[in-house]
Structure formats: structure tokens, C-alpha cells
Amino acid sequence: MSPLDTPPLYEDLKLLTEVSQLLTLLDLDNVMQKVISLMSSAVGATKASLFLHDGNNVDWDHIFLMRDLDPDQSIEVVQAVLDEGLAGWVMRNRQETIVYDTETDERWHKFPNDTNPVRSVLCVPFIHDDKVLAVLTLVHPEPNHFDEHHLRLLTIVANQATVAIRNAQLFNQVQQQQRQLEVILHAIPDILLVLDDGGRILMVNEPAKKLLSDNAEISRESMIGQDLLRYVDVDPAIATVQRIVSKTDHAHLRPFETRSERSQQDFLVTMSVWQNPGRKTAGFVVVMHDVTTLRDLHRFKDEMLKVVTHDLRSPVSLVISASEMLTYDMPPLEPDSSIPQYMDIIRQATERMQGLLDDLLRAETSALRPTDPSELIQAIVGDLQPLATKKSQKLETQVELAPDLMMIVDPMLMREAMENYVSNAIKYTRKKGRIVLHATTADNRFQFVVEDNGIGIAEEHLPHLFEPYYRVQRPETEDIEGYGVGLSLVKTIVERYKGGVWVESREGKGSRFGFWLPL
């Protein structure tokens, strides 16, 4: 190697060293300006342009042009060189190139009234992950200024600079996402906490800050890194959260409710685990939704329910007493008289109503216990048989259940659902009709179906039958009492136990109403 080769080689190595230092920079605009400066100086370019491209569109926030243009003009220039110019050719071919003389190379796009003389051009793509990330264009006013050595050198430099640009891009994206996240956190009215696996606070929004501290001078930033445990004494509402965090098993986190006596608020708390790439627990996300208004309404409803049920007990007791007195004071009746049967219906109905009121008053309406569905069906048939007999209807049962089958349900609610189906069938089936109660089990499900040969229902009404207060208006049903709430009540009860309801019907042929419950 001759002494004359040493200075260029030294300069090339110096350039590569300076480019490698770009990896320590994270500001995208600064990185792009450094790339332009270093690469322009290395080849003696007089002007340069650099813009980023994500594979589909130009990043208009990060373009550096050799002309002093306003934003609208910059967009026009970049779009023109992409469509018709050298930069577009480089992107499409993913290949660096030299224009020795713009007067003889059709790839160079000339702009009208351009006062900047350009005769030679060097254009290099920055390729990352098999996609063109950016395009750098360097120009000189004299022809044949750039040579193959310049092209090879800048190709090597571009490979290194691409990594620096990509790193700065990713850092810029992370910063944008963090700012977006902070805006979202400020907009969320719910209390939001992000904790690490040790219970230290990583992120906290303003509502959470107010829950954890009464001191307005304490900032959210000062809470970062603090242990949640230190705030349990401030508001015991987060004590349950702290206990869950301190446990070792977090496989089944379920929503729970807690109350802040300090702020007189009720919260529905949802906790979820976030994990690091190693699939190990890295921390928790805690969301506390204010349900105070809902709980106040619930408490008011409970109080009103107690008052109403208490007040209803007196008239029901009077009906029971009066029916008993009528039975004792009743004169001798004919052997075939139906009055004793009707009196018995009154007694059974009022006693059942009194039992319902007692259950409501004791707040035991949702008491789950093992229940024999066969016994429920027998009781329903016994209660409703007189109504069917009055219309000369046949009320039959086809029960195919295991003798020891027991369902964990509220028997009162389940009987209410079954009885609604049967009583509807009696009401909407003509005299001398037939009603069959089916009870079967299959696919780990209990299924109850009431089939009749009544008046049936037109197909367009079927999707709406389980909607509250929906009734089919027909001349033959005008005299039948009802408010359209029975079927919606069945649906509510059945869905409470994760089951489903269904109906099949043909007008003039009859109907099949059914529901299923998981066993």
C-alpha cells in the first residue's frame, strides 16, 4: 500500500467510527441530521435530502430536503421524486446508484424554475428487515463528481446508519405510545394502578392518587416505586388488593367488591396479571370501578322490598283466615259440589304467597340448595290440575330422569319458571286440549319442555316472545289476562343458572316452550 492510500483509508475508518457512535443517539431528528452531515462530508456533496418510509407511506414528520420549502411544497416535491425521480427508482429497485450527469440520465427529475444546479447525484437506500426504511440523496453541481468508491463507502455506512435510525424510530414510537397511554390514563374515571410482582407502584392515575392520599401536594410521580402496603392505613379499601398481591398463587383472579369508608364509595375491583417475556409474573393491573350509585339503589330496593313484603303479609293473612272461616261456617253441601275444591285452591295459593313473602322478608330468595326436579313437576301439576280440569284439558307428564338426580338451584325460582310455561299452555290451549310436560337429561343438561296443541304463534312473533311486556295481539286472546312478563321472567331465571330458553310454534297447531340448565 502506497503512502498516498493512507489518508483516504484513514478518513473512511474515521467515518465508520463516527457512524457507529450514532447508535448511542435516540432522538430521531438528531440521528437523521447527523447521517446527512457525515455522509455529505465524506463524499463532498453540496446538498442532501433524506426522508423515512415505512413501506407504504412517507413519514412526513421526518423529511429533510435540500430545498427550503413549506410543508405543502415539501409533500409535492417528495411525491414527485418518488413517482418520477431517482429516489423512487432506488426504492423500487432497492439498489444504490450514481447519476454521473443529470443531463443524460432520465431518472433524474427536473423541477421547473429550479435555481439549484445539479449535475451529479448519489442515491442510497437504507434497508431494514428487507424493507426500504429511508432514502438519502446527495448532489453536486459538477458532473462526474461521485465515483464507485463513494458508492461503496456510503453503502457500507448506510448499513450501519440504518440500525441507528431504526433504534431512534423505535424509541420515538415508545415515547409516543407512552404519551398516548398517559392521556388515556388521565381520561379514565376509574381508579387504575399498575404494580410489580412485589406490590410496588409502577403507574397510577389521578383518581387512584386521590384514593391513596389526602394530601393534594403529593404528586403521582412521587408515588412511583412506593410499596402499596404503606397506603393500606390511608384507605382500607385497598387492603384486599394488597392481600392478593402478597399471595403466591394468582392463577384465578376474580372480580370482588370493596368499600372505602373514608370516601363512602363502593368499588368493583378487577385484577389481572401481566407477564414478562419469560412468562413469569411481572406484576398486576388493578382497576377499581365506582359502583356506589348502583349499590345505593340496590340498598334502597332491598329496604323497599322489605317494607312492601311486610305490608303484604297482613292482607294475605286475612285471606287465609277468611277462607278458613268460610270452611268452618259453610252449610252442608251436595256430594258433587266443587266448592270445597275451590276453597282448597284458595288456601294453597294464599299459603304459597305467604311463603314467598316470608322468603322475601328473610332475604332468602336466592338460596341455592339440592332440588329434585321430579318433585317440582309433581307439585306444579298438583297446583295447576284444577285449572286444566276446568277447561277439560289433559295434563300429562313424561319424566325420564334418574331417581337420584338433584340440581343445585333455588327451588322457588325454578318452580316459578316451570309453572309459567305450564300456566301459559293452559291459558292458550282450547278446551279439551292436551298439554305434556317433558323432563329429560342429555349431554350433561337438564331439559324441561311444555308441549301443547293450542292456538300456536305466528313465526314473526317468536324472536320477541321472551322480551319484557311483549304480547301477541289476537282476537281470540283478548279476554286472557296477562302483561307479557312471565316469559321474560323465565328467561331471567334460566340465564341466572347459565342456561337457555327456546320456543317452537306453528299457528293453529300448537307450541313447544323449553329451557335447559347445565348439570
Q: Could you read off the pLDDT of 119-177 as tens digits, one per residue?
A: 998 999 888 888 888 888 888 999 999 889 888 888 888 888 888 888 888 888 888 88
Strand partners, 501: 515
Same domain, 100 and 23: yes
Contact 52, 59 (CB under 8 A): yes
Output the pTM of the full model.
0.45
Same domain, 233 and 93: no
Count of structural domains within the chain? 4
Tens digit of each residue's pLDDT (9 = 90 or more) over 84-96: 888 889 888 888 9
Same domain, 455 and 324: no
Contact 484, 468 (CB under 8 A): yes
Look up residue 101 and give its amino acid: D
Same domain, 243 and 147: no
Using the predicted structure, report yes or no on whether residue 5 has a pLDDT greater than 50: no
Same domain, 264 and 353: no
Q: Which of 140, 156, 16 is nearest to 96 (CA)?
A: 156
Rounded Cα distance, 443 and 445, in Å: 5
Rounded Cα distance, 233 and 485, in Å: 49
Rounded Cα distance, 417 and 501, in Å: 11
Tens digit of each residue's pLDDT (9 = 90 or more) over 313-355: 667 777 777 777 777 777 777 777 777 777 778 877 877 777 7
Q: Residue 227: which domain range? A: 189-290
pLDDT band at 450 (very low <50, low <70, confident <90, very high): very high
Same domain, 18 and 162: yes
Do the domain assignments include residue 183?
no
Do the domain assignments include residue 303?
yes
Do the domain assignments include residue 139?
yes
What CATH number should be reported for the domain holding residue 98? Answer: 3.30.450.40
Domain boundary among 263, 290, 317: 290
Using the predicted structure, report yes or no on whether residue 218 has a pLDDT greater than 90: no
